[in-house]
Amino acid sequence: MGICKYCSKESPVISQKIGYCVDCIRDHLGLIKSRVMKIHLELRAAHGLPPEPPHTPGGIECDYCINQCEIGEGETGYCGFRTNRGGQLENPLGGLLDWYYDPLPTNCVASWVCPGGSRAGYPDYSNTDGPEIGSKNIAVFYRSCTFDCLFCQNWHFKESTGSKVTPQQLADHVDDRTNCICYFGGDPASQITHAISASKQAREKKEMLRICWETNGSVSRPYLRKMLDLSLESGGCIKFDLKAYHEELNLALCGISNKNTLENFAYLAEFVDKRPNPPLLIASTPLIPGYMDDKEIKAIAAFIASLNPNIPYSVLGFYPCYYLDDLPSTSKQHAKHAREIAEGEGLTNVHIGNWNMLGRENY
């Protein structure tokens, strides 16, 4: 049990590091925002990242994502990647990343509905009527991000530099056994021109090569359209991590608004029926104990169902890490209940992901 610093009520699960219950964050963020956002400021300072998106008069505009940074001389954008040096944004096409071959089927968020891990997409987008055993994916991890999630399970990228890889160098690693490329991180939005360029060059090397994305959905609409075109024609999927529905909770947990995420998701949903197999758009939500409650799951599921009830949705197990290391792992009960709620809102394909990460049956 924990006690909320605002309402003084006991809560079964509450992070003492945040100090506030989910209801107070949703309903009273305006009154506690400065104290919640101070957490983000301190964490970002520790990693040498800008405290907030810069909007310096006369700075160079970066149009990659919702943050719309205006980066002054010597400054770095919120993602920590793009720097204004001498009046130019450094490395507009260079990539700061790690990449590796990942044997198919992988533990991808979408593996239960994508050609790499299921029968989906055969024969148009896969040569195998089932999981593509023996083939591989190029997993591309971008070491920069447009969000600042307190529960980031890949936060270690903030403490090391990675390698600089050009789009052509990345594309050159596509071989006969490579069936897909998946961009994640961090988030591909922060280095989106690199990913788009690499994808186009890779597709020139191999016709049956799916282009997939795992993203927080913050990318600007013109680039989202390019992502859409690449995935739609290649048989790839776009996986949105809907970390919250209410903007207040997203701001508290991720430092940034999710307004653009929800708008972009709704935009992509308009194209789902153009290629239902394999599914173009997939959603997921990390089940953070105490914060991803019934109200939040219900709102997310209702939002997805209002767009298209056949969009696959995965509720993901959370394990304590980074700043929220004082919370328990997602319980099996929490995951099963979340699935029931999502199905109750009309979603037809709900999946429990990261089952191996789930904790005990109850909290």
Report all structural domains of the chain as residue ranges with CATH numbers, in order of start: 2-46 (no CATH), 95-357 (3.20.20.70)
Q: Please tell me the predicted confidence (pLDDT) of residue 122.
A: 95
Mean pLDDT score across all residues of the chain? 94
pLDDT of residue 93: 61
Average confidence (pLDDT) over 1-18: 90
What is the average per-residue pLDDT within 316-329? 94
Distances (CA, A) of 240 to 39, 214, 231, 313: 25, 6, 13, 10
Query: What does the pLDDT average to over 320-328?
Result: 94
Sign of CA dihedral 102, 108, 114, 119: positive
Specify the pTM: 0.95
252 — pLDDT class (breaks 50, 70, 90): very high
Sign for the CA dihedral angle at 182, 184, 187, 191 comes to negative
Distance CA 124, CA 236 (A): 12
The Cα–Cα gap between 119 and 141 comes to 26
> What is the C-alpha to C-alpha distance for residues 286 and 214, in angstroms, rounded to an integer?
13
206: phi then psi, degrees, rounded to nearest 5: -145, 125
The pLDDT tens digits for 22-76 are: 999 999 999 999 999 999 999 999 999 999 999 999 999 999 999 999 999 999 9
Strands (E), 113-177: 136-142, 163-165
Residue 360 has pLDDT above 70, yes or no: no
pLDDT number for residue 357: 76
Letter string b/e over residues 126-136, b meaning 16 or more CB atoms within 10 A of that residue's CB: bebeebbeebb
Choice between 113 and 91, residue whose per-residue pLDDT is larger: 113
Least confident of 140-149, 152-161, 326-335: 152-161
| Percentage of residues in the chain having pLDDT higher than 70 | 98
Query: What pLDDT is recorded for position 95?
Result: 83
Structure tokens at 71: 């980066």
Closest CA relative to residue 282, chosen from 358, 207, 217, 192: 217
Residue that the structure tokens 């680039």 belong to: 223
pLDDT in tens, 158-192: 987 778 899 999 999 999 999 999 999 999 999 99
| Res. 147 pLDDT band, cuts 50 70 90 | very high
Q: So what's the pLDDT on residue 246?
A: 98
- Per-residue pLDDT tens digits for 190-233: 999 999 999 999 999 998 999 999 999 999 999 999 999 999 99
Q: How confident is the model at residue 107 (pLDDT cuts 50, 70, 90)?
A: confident
Q: Over range 97-115, report the average pLDDT.
A: 93
What span, in angstroms and rounded, lies between the C-alpha atoms of 116 and 172? 21
DSSP H or E run through 355: none
